[in-house]
A and B are shown apart, each in its own frame.
Chain A
Amino acid sequence: MPPVDVEALHIHDLAYSVIRVLNDKGEAVGPWAGQLSDEALVEGLRHMMTVRAFDARMLMAQRQGKTSFYMQALGEEAVACAFRMALRPGDMNFSTYRQQGLLIAGGYPLVTMMNQIYSNAKDPMKGRQLPVMYSSKKDGYFTISGNLATQFIQAVGWAMASAIKGDDKVAAGWIGEGSTAENDFHSALVFASTYKPPVILNVVNNQWAISTFQGIARGNAATFASRGLGFGIPALRVDGNDYLAVYAVAKWAISRARMNLGPTLIEFITYRAGAHSTSDDPSGYRPKDESSGWPLGDPVERLKKHLTLRGAWSEERHAQAKGEIESLVVQAQKEAESHGTLHNGPHAPAGTMFEDVFSEPPIHLIRQRQEAGI
């Protein structure tokens, strides 16, 4: 593990190799191992299992017509769940739509997430946003945009503000590997290298951007991590399905930021095991068995194996935890549905549509609301 004040040019190799802690046997090995207790790992496993159970229920709810749309994080749960555990209150995530693990590992109520997914009367976003476009300032979760990459540079700006104000809060930008093609990704790297603010620039490489393979976004030459090197930004490539590795690297990058040593770029290598969203069918663009052949395995299975090897977990405990988590999710769903679903309502009153466009509604919106009669 390099010192946190390392210069990017001394760790170029980390942008091309893969940092792992869990080996194929499930043992924790190497310089990045040994950072998490049994309890912390069990908690991490539960978080990932909760994300998975939550996703499964919400996917089904969408299929049953209770909402318009859903996006799962199947197969890449370790990335957000482990990263979240290395953050502190006050830090801010500029997440994409696939880091629900940040909220769940942070203890955000499942019911509130579901209220948003159902656009129901208790949706904190008042039915304005597409499902999964959460927002919670107090939980360090910036309002999600449907426009890709826009928030990556915003994370840099937030971190610049933190530096200007002299506090020790850090920002985490999140982006899919496909979206690194957008200008905003490159703007983020330029600003991060110029101002060296306390930001962690996370690229989640789950191999697919809807139907396009990761090679479309980068050519076949370089890694996404190595994008940082030209900007002098320390860049690391990590096994994103290895909870322990994700945590260790996140911790390292976050402590760099916390000490004002500047930005870090991390590429998490993972695999989008499900469809992109409820709007596509991956069998139209990738081999059906690709997912099962993925060499980095399944993050839940890998952590389970490791904990079992440590003597801190067993099949029985796993089955029991699974049952408990599923009933928690079902309970949350019942409660959320008691507050309404997309097509059956109730929703926030329709007139709220005209609120929050500005701090105070200007005259034209007052008139339009009157015309609408709501």
Chain B
Amino acid sequence: MTRMTMIEAIRSAMDVAMERDDNVVVFGEDVGYFGGVFRCTAGLQQKFGRQRCFDAPISESGIIGAAVGMAAYGLRPCVEIQFADYIYPGYDQLVSEASRIRYRSAGDFTTPLTVRMPTGGGIFGGQTHSQSPETLFAHVAGLKTVIPSNPHDAKGLLIAAIEDDDPVIFLEPKRLYNGPFDGHHDRPVTPWKKHDLGEVPDGHYTVPLGKAAIMREGGDVTVLTYGTMVHVALAAAAETGVDAEIIDLRTLLPLDFEAIEASVRKTGRCVVVNEATKTCGFAAELMAVVMEGCFHHLEAPVIRVTGWDTPYPHAHEWDYFPGPKRVGAALKRVMEA
């Protein structure tokens, strides 16, 4: 066990995966020599050489398209998109290609590739360094979508993603890279090195895709969330005193129906939280899943807390970000119903 930041945990995952399997290659913009703008790939080129970790031209469609070709050959590329906000030029390669190659060739060709990208806000990054586009991936048949909330899970999930035989989108909440940000932007964040979830096993382990984690057990209400909002929800529960069961979904697709249904059936109440815009956000899918699976157990309408349906603003970041106050208000409201 070593205490690590989420950046170090992600780096360690790639290091382990590259050591175990020569077919794992890592590339992206500024990823090789420099080691990535967030330093997630620092040292990998020095260790594994320029054939296995290298800089890509600034072309997201090129990065994903090349990864598809490599994966079809039999490699396991793990590529970085510098910010999730920059995936769109590569989106066609994901939606029309990577996601369907197994299906359209009836399993003749496959594309085991992982696309890592920092996601989410909270860093005053304005509209092009703050987006949460997870739904745009989860909506596509044939892509798996993963989003960890802490270093331990980040490493285990990333190794599982790289070893998975299908394309996996791996979203890294950048506001969590250095510590569990709970939405209280005016308070210092505890660094991961002083946090239990910063304990990361050395070497190889996986956190299986498709398995949620209960981050806080509770009896009053189930909170379904993921990424940065896990920590916001934990803060909201602590501050309101509502005995919430907080579930970190970890993987959005495949979704852990069992964990969701067991918890909501137990509590009878549910709040869903995502940082992304509201309309057609992943929270909407979660509400539908709860309605389908738990309708007769519900004692109150499900409530969602999300970002607003505007581009992500710069100066008004904290008016936009669904912080612990809004989540706390939802917890109280669902208890009153």
* A→B interface (CB under 8 Å): 68-69, 119, 123, 126-131, 133, 145-149, 178-179, 181-184, 209-212, 216-217, 279-280, 284-285, 342, 345, 347-348, 350, 353-354, 357, 364-365, 368, 372, 374
Contacts and interface: CB of A to CB of B under 8 A. Distances in A.
Contacts of B124: 68-69, 342
A184 B319 contact: no
State the main secondary structure of chain A at its contact with B: loop
Interface residues on B, range: 35 or more
Given A212-B30, A342-B124, A368-B309, A130 B61 contact: no
B323 to A, nearest CB: 12
A354 B308 contact: yes
Contacts of A368: 278, 308-309
Interface in B297-325: 308-311, 313-316, 319-320
26 contacts: A68-B314, A128-B313, A128-B316, A129-B126, A130-B129, A146-B126, A147-B85, A147-B88, A149-B58, A181-B58, A182-B89, A183-B89, A209-B58, A210-B29, A211-B33, A212-B55, A212-B57, A212-B58, A216-B55, A280-B37, A285-B33, A285-B34, A347-B316, A353-B308, A353-B320, A364-B279
A374 B319 contact: yes
A127 B313 contact: yes
A216 B59 contact: no
Given A210-B29, A347-B315, A181 B57 contact: yes
Nearest to A279: B37
State the main secondary structure of chain B at its contact with A: loop
B249 to A, nearest CB: 24
Nearest to A123: B315
Contact of B59 (A182, A210, A211): A182
Top 8 A-B residue pairs of the complex, sorted by shortest distance between their CB atoms? A127-B315, A146-B128, A130-B126, A181-B57, A211-B34, A119-B315, A68-B124, A181-B59
Given A183-B59, A285-B33, A350-B316, A128 B311 contact: yes
B86 interface: yes
Contacts of B129: 130, 146
Interface of B: 29-30, 33-34, 37, 55-62, 85-86, 88-89, 124-129, 278-279, 308-311, 313-316, 319-320
Contacts of B313: 127-128, 353
A146 B60 CA distance: 15
Contact of B308 (A123, A145, A372): A372
Most chain-A Cβ atoms within 10 A of its Cβ — which of B58, B60, B86, B320? B58
A360 to B, nearest CB: 14
A178 B126 CA distance: 22
Contact of B315 (A179, A348, A374): A348
